[in-house]
Amino acid sequence: MANKIGFMDKIGNDVFSNLSVSDKLKKVFNKLKNNLILIFAVIIVVDIFSMFNMYSIYKVFYEQNTQQGEIRITIQALAKYYLWAINAVEESDRNEQMTGASEKIQEMKDGLDLLGKVYSGDLSVARAHLSDIETQGQTLSSMFASGASHEELYSFYVSNLNEAIKVVVKDFKAIAVSAAEEAHKAYTGAFTLVIIITIISMLIVLYAIIYSKKARITLTENILEPIRAISEAADDMAKGKIDIKVPSQSNDELGKLADDITYSTDVIADIVKDISDTLNRMSTGDFSCGSKNEKLYIGDYVQIKDAFRNISDNLSHTLLEVKNSSTLVSDGALNMSQGATDLAEGSTDQAAAVQELTASVNSVTDQTRQLAEVAQKSHNMAGDVKDKAEVSARKMHLVTDAMTRITEASAEIEQVTNTIEEIASQTSLLALNASIEAARAGETGKGFAVVADQIGKLADQSSEAAKNTHQLIADTMEEIKNGNAVVAETTDALDAMQHSVEEITDMIKNTGNLAQAQAQSMEEIDKGIEMISGVVQKNSETAEQSSEVSKELSIQSESLNDLIGKFTISS
């Protein structure tokens, strides 16, 4: 609750409660968005500052250190060039070393210019001492030109030129110390600033976390309080409670919903009270009208109002109809008494007619039963005929099959006869060839000619026998063909007879079934007539009772009219 109050002090409790749910969410999340933007801005600043420090370290301190190192290396090279020049034997070698020394001096000047761009200290002293080295180098060149001895040159180098070089080295050591101090100051400042910005970022993040937590609690309370109240009201309504008041302290959608539920329960309570009053009035017999407060029923409740009106109108109309019907019943009861007397007299005549009908039905039933027995015998005889016809048909089919096999055997015999005829023809040709050869052989072939002549005669006899066999087989095939036709006709006739016998058998069977069914129907009719006889007798008794009941009904109709008169109905 303390967190909620603290948060509400910042955004206004009353103002926040009166905002809509969407505006509450918008206000809270806009604040969160601003916090995130602030955190993002701080992160950007930290990144920019870090990048600036990295740039400074690279462009300033790294360049300072690089240029100092280059100048120191150049100073060492310069000293070597001077020593090499002093110790050179050849003049050309000496001049080359002095030229290298001049180039190194120029490199040192250029290095000082570059160092001056990134070094914030004073470099004028270093420039003056570098000029001293250049002056001492020129003096050494003059001594080379005047022919000074090696001892004089070396002494000059040690006492003058080398000392000037040492001074420049000290200058650059001092510059290095100064640059290191500047780098340390820059590092300390950057580190301090990073710590400060980090602390500020952490404070902003902590503030955002605390704000988010308080905002969540406040927003939850502002939304869930009416939702809890509405949920409790809904539970009470589900349990049958009507007198419900939903507390609400906000003017948002949830507060309006709570007010709507309170108003709805009040309307329902008024409608329930009117329904109770209307039903109590109707329970006393007053159906003159429906609800007396029809203006309460609005919207879907109009159906209840219409239902009450329909109940009132329908019951009033029904009671009026009952009253009119009661009068008619009373009048009809007298007529019913006279009709019952007439019915009793007619029932006696019906009983006599039923007895005569019963005797006739019994006679027809006996005849039908005899017809069913004759039909059953006919059915059995037809079955025997059917079985014999089936046996005859099967035997004729066997004869047909035998004739078919004979035809096939005759065809095979004809093929064998053709083969014999071909053999006889070839044998005759062979005998002729043998006779010709025997004639050529002369006396030697006479015996062979006799054999060939006998073979020729045998071949002619075989050919004649084959022709006779052909004719005999042809005649046999013709007879078989005629026999097949006769057998086929006989088979067709037997099949037709079998089919007719089957149809006759089915007809006799159906006749028997119909006769049995008719016998059963006649038995049922007999039973029905017996029942009719009983009913006729019962009607006679009932007619007498109806006469008594009609009198009682007339009395009850008058009582019903008196009872209906107690109800209040609409006209």
Backbone angles phi, psi at 244, to 5 degrees: -125, 135
Q: How confident is residue 361, by pLDDT bands cut at 50, 70 and 90?
A: low
Percentage above 90 pLDDT, the chain: 6
Mapping DSSP to helix (H, G, I), strand (E, B) and coil, where does residue 239 land? coil
Q: Is the pLDDT of residue 311 over 70?
A: yes
If one compares 252 and 428, the residue with the highest pLDDT of the two is: 428
The radius of gyration of the chain from alpha carbons, rounded to an integer in Å, stands at 73
Q: Is the pLDDT of residue 3 over 50?
A: no
Q: Is the pLDDT of residue 2 over 60?
A: no
- For position 250, what pLDDT does the model report? 64
Return the half-sphere exposure (C-beta side, CA atoms, 13 A cut-off) of residue 231.
6
If one compares 269 and 192, the residue with the highest pLDDT of the two is: 192
Alpha-carbon 551 to chain mean position: 75
Q: Is the pLDDT of residue 4 over 60?
A: no
Q: How confident is residue 366, by pLDDT bands cut at 50, 70 and 90?
A: confident
Cα 248 from Cα 227, distance rounded (Å): 10
- For position 11, what pLDDT does the model report? 45
Structure tokens at 233: 């009201």
Q: List, for residues 149-182, the tens digit of each pLDDT value.
A: 889 999 999 999 999 888 988 988 888 787 778 7
Backbone angles phi, psi at 14, to 5 degrees: -65, -45
* DSSP string of 124-159, one letter each residue: HHHHHHHHHHHHHHHHHHHHHHHT--HHHHHHHIII
Q: Residue 466 is which amino acid?
A: A
Contacts of 253 (CB under 8 A, 6+ apart): 20, 21
Cα 525 from Cα 354, distance rounded (Å): 12
The dihedral over CA atoms of 99, 103, 108, 110, expressed in degrees to the nearest 10, equals 150
Mean pLDDT on 213-234 = 73
Which residue is it, tokens 């050494």? 140
Backbone angles phi, psi at 433, to 5 degrees: -65, -40
The dihedral over CA atoms of 361, 362, 365, 366, expressed in degrees to the nearest 10, equals -150
Contact present, 293 and 283 (Cβ < 8 Å)? no
Cα 271 from Cα 166, distance rounded (Å): 114
- For position 100, what pLDDT does the model report? 92
Cα 380 from Cα 397, distance rounded (Å): 26
Mean pLDDT on 297-320 = 75
The residues with which 569 forms a beta bridge, in sequence order, are 287
Mean pLDDT on 53-81 = 79
If one compares 112 and 447, the residue with the highest pLDDT of the two is: 112
Does an H or E element contain 518, and which?
helix 446-564
Q: Is the pLDDT of residue 139 over 90?
A: yes
Q: pTM to 2 decimals?
A: 0.34
Q: How confident is residue 5, by pLDDT bands cut at 50, 70 and 90?
A: very low
Lowest mean pLDDT, pick from 65-69, 322-326, 450-454: 322-326
Cα 252 from Cα 21, distance rounded (Å): 6
Lowest mean pLDDT, pick from 60-64, 130-134, 202-206, 545-549: 545-549
Cα 378 from Cα 400, distance rounded (Å): 33
Mean pLDDT on 532-537 = 67
Contact present, 413 and 473 (Cβ < 8 Å)? yes
SS3 readout for 62-104: HHHHHHHHHHHHHHHHHHHHHHHHHHCCCHHHHHHHHHHHHHH
Contact present, 229 and 258 (Cβ < 8 Å)? yes
Domains of the chain: 2-229 (no CATH), 314-569 (1.10.287.950)
Length of the chain, please? 571
- For position 409, what pLDDT does the model report? 66
Lowest mean pLDDT, pick from 70-79, 204-213, 538-547: 538-547
Mapping DSSP to helix (H, G, I), strand (E, B) and coil, where does residue 287 land? strand
Most confident of 31-40, 243-252, 356-365, 493-502: 31-40
If one compares 385 and 174, the residue with the highest pLDDT of the two is: 174
Q: Is the pLDDT of residue 97 over 90?
A: yes
- For position 1, what pLDDT does the model report? 39
- For position 419, what pLDDT does the model report? 78
Mean pLDDT on 348-377 = 67
Residue 422's CB is within 10 A of a number of other CB atoms, namely: 12
Contact present, 400 and 491 (Cβ < 8 Å)? yes
**Mean predicted lDDT score pLDDT of the chain:** 75
Q: Is the pLDDT of residue 414 over 90?
A: no
Q: Is the pLDDT of residue 206 over 80?
A: yes
Q: Is the pLDDT of residue 138 over 80?
A: yes
Query: Which of 106, 108, 112, 156 has the alpha carbon at shortest distance from 136?
Result: 156
Q: Is the pLDDT of residue 6 over 50?
A: no
Query: Which of 414, 395, 372 has the alpha carbon at shortest distance from 510?
Result: 372
Q: How confident is residue 8, by pLDDT bands cut at 50, 70 and 90?
A: very low
DSSP 160: I
Most confident of 53-67, 263-277, 438-452: 263-277
Does an H or E element contain 196, and which?
helix 162-238
Mean pLDDT on 239-260 = 70
**Burial of 356: CB neighbours in 10 Å, binned 0-12, 13-18, 19+:** exposed
* DSSP string of 468-494, one letter each residue: HHHHHHHHHHHHHHHHHHHHHHHHHHH
Cα 24 from Cα 13, distance rounded (Å): 11
- For position 379, what pLDDT does the model report? 66
Q: Is the pLDDT of residue 219 over 80?
A: no
Mean pLDDT on 22-44 = 75
Q: List, for residues 415-470, the tens digit of each pLDDT value.
A: 766 777 777 777 777 777 877 877 777 777 667 677 777 777 777 776 777 677 77
